Structure 1
Amino acid sequence: MLAVHDFLKSAQRGAVAIAAALLLAVSAKAQSDPLPSWNDTAPKAAIVAFVEKVTTENSPDFVPEPERIAVFDNDGTLWVEHPMYTQLAFALDRVKAEAAAHPEWKDKQPFKAVLEGDMKALAAAGEKGLVELIMETHADMTHDEFQKVVSEWIATARDPKFNKLYTELVYQPMLELLAYLRANGFKTFIVSGGGIEFVRP
């Protein structure tokens, strides 16, 4: 009976050891995968191959670390852009917040459209109307005052489509890509049509 008991305990320890080894192997693979949330696709393989090629010293495609630069767009790449750009959502909220100080806005487009929630009329105002909104809602503040207003807004503003904070609506695969490139000596930059004073906070 003792021999059977010892055998079972030994077998149990062996099973635990095998399970632990498998878990370690899976964990090591996950840790060695620089882009874990990317599907195993051709773009992922191309990115990894490119990074290996430009960071391997004896490669004909080697790029010295000071020259490794990667540039990314912001809207739709690093944070959500639908149903509207985040900076436009900020401008619309600023119109509503500042409306009491500007009674003329209730009769003046594109401000009237914003205050009435008339997105069709707002869209009809076109680029000219958008520029007017941005100018009115982003002006007459110092750099520090504007950063404070943006920081306070971004801390509580929620996207109308997903009902989540804008800071929660980022793309995990792109965050992984940025981290992977930085870990391999790339300087990364964001280039955006959005205002730098808005994007930074």
Structure 2
Amino acid sequence: MIRLARLAGLFAAILIAAVPTLALSQDALPSWREGRAKAAIVAFVQKVTTEGTSFVPVADRIAVFDNDGTLWSEQPYYFQLGFMIDRVKVLAPEHPEWKEKEPFKSILEGNLAGLASAGEKGIVELGMATHAEMTTDEFSKIVTDWFATARHPKFKRPYNEITFLPMRELLDYLRDNGFKTYIVSGGGVEFMRPMTQKMYGIPPEQVIGSSIETKYLLEGDTPVLTREPKIDFIDDGAGKPVGINKFIGHRPIFVAGNSDGDYEMLRWATAGDGPRFGMIVHHTDADREYAYDRDSHFGKLDKALTEAGTRNWLLVDMKADWGRIYSFEDR
């Protein structure tokens, strides 16, 4: 009986000792192909989570991610622009003047080239017409309903399925290692917040984005927040590090983007003391997704692409480094 008890204890000790090894042997990033990119990510996470000179306390393990083109696709146009296009069509009967007014005229005629020529000014005008003069609750419901029914023009699937599986794995991997993950995007903050928990496991309070002015009002005796047709904050380019400082209050140690709109965020985050990791998703797969960089109207990657090597930012080659891009792909 004593011998059996000793054998049982020995067996239990062997199992306990083996648990860390088994956990480490599991692939936390299965959609990433073995290679330099995956190895660099794993090496950085192991370095900052292992006791030693490069160890980073949990409170300082902040990771920020751009959204458009980094966590979900942004071609043939930004998802939020797709939302605006659909909203214009819904609201058009109330605005007969749009038949002759750009950029609304181009949308109603299906002229995407004309819409593109409207530039930033035209996009802002679309945003004010389709995003404002309603309560925050009303807008959240409209966005949620749109995501439930709208389909991506290329893949003919719901937009909430057009997220990058390798990046979702990366978010989970970082969180499993004590990181707090944020979205820092040029997209509208209230356009993203209804969906980010379900899509990425990122709660609304950890989403930073562009915003329009919001006011407190009473409808009868009911307090509401109303969305005004006026820009409050643009969270793009140099606005991204400003937004991080304002809303997070920590300089991130891990930053991921995909375009020149993320350049200043990459510069600022990786310029801090201690271990830092900058990463750029390079869209190189025209068959499974899209291939674009320096000349794209959406997600232009030029300056950041040129400087990635000298600034030690990891350039992730989508075609070479990702075994799967979307969860609906065949294994």
- Secondary structure in 2 matching 1:194: strand
Q: CA deviation at 1:30?
A: 9.9
From 64, 70, 85, give the equivalent of 2:57.
Answer: 64
Alignment of 1:16-31 (within 5 A): none
1:98 equivalent to 2:91? Answer yes
After TM superposition, which residue ranges in structure 1, 4 or more long, deviate above 2 angstroms?
28-31
Give, as a single letter, the amino acid of the residue that structure 2 aligns with 1:35. L
1:46 equivalent to 2:40? Answer yes
Q: Whole-Å Cα distance in 2 between the matches of residues 63 and 36 of structure 1?
A: 25
Q: 120-129 or 187-196: which moved more? A: 120-129
TM-score norm. by structure 2 comes to 0.51
Q: 1:31 to 1:79 in 2, by over 3 A?
A: farther
Q: CA deviation at 1:162?
A: 1.1
Q: CA deviation at 1:80?
A: 1.1
Q: Structure 2: where are the runs of 5+ without partners?
A: 1-21, 195-331
Alignment of 1:7-156 (within 5 A): 32-57=26-51, 59-156=52-149
TM-score norm. by structure 1 comes to 0.84
Q: Whole-Å Cα distance in 2 between the matches of residues 173 and 161 of structure 1?
A: 20
Give the structure 2 partner of residue 195 of structure 1: 188
The structure whose residues are more often helix, as a share, is: 1
TM-superposition CA deviations, 1:101-150 (whole Å, max 9, x none): 11111111110000000111111111111110011000111111000000
Q: Whole-Å Cα distance in 2 between the matches of residues 38 and 123 of structure 1?
A: 34
Higher CA-based Rg: 1
Percent of residue pairs identical: 64
Root mean square deviation of aligned Cα: 1.3
Q: Whole-Å Cα distance in 1 between the matches of residues 24 and 165 of structure 2?
A: 15
- Secondary structure in 1 matching 2:187: coil
Give, as a single letter, the amino acid of the residue that structure 2 aligns with 1:44. K
CA contact (8 A) 1:65 1:185 kept: yes
Give, as a single letter, the amino acid of the residue that structure 1 aligns with 2:113. K
CA contact (8 A) 1:35 1:173 kept: yes
Q: Structure 1: where are the runs of 5+ without partners?
A: 1-27
CA contact (8 A) 1:109 1:129 kept: yes
Pairs aligned (count): 173
Q: CA deviation at 1:97?
A: 0.5
Q: CA deviation at 1:158?
A: 0.3
Ranked by relative contact order (alpha carbons within 8 Å, sequence separation 6 or more), the top structure is: 1
Q: Whole-Å Cα distance in 1 between the matches of residues 110 and 79 of structure 2?
A: 17
The structure whose residues are more often strand, as a share, is: 2
Give the structure 2 partner of residue 169 of structure 1: 162
Give the structure 2 partner of residue 181 of structure 1: 174
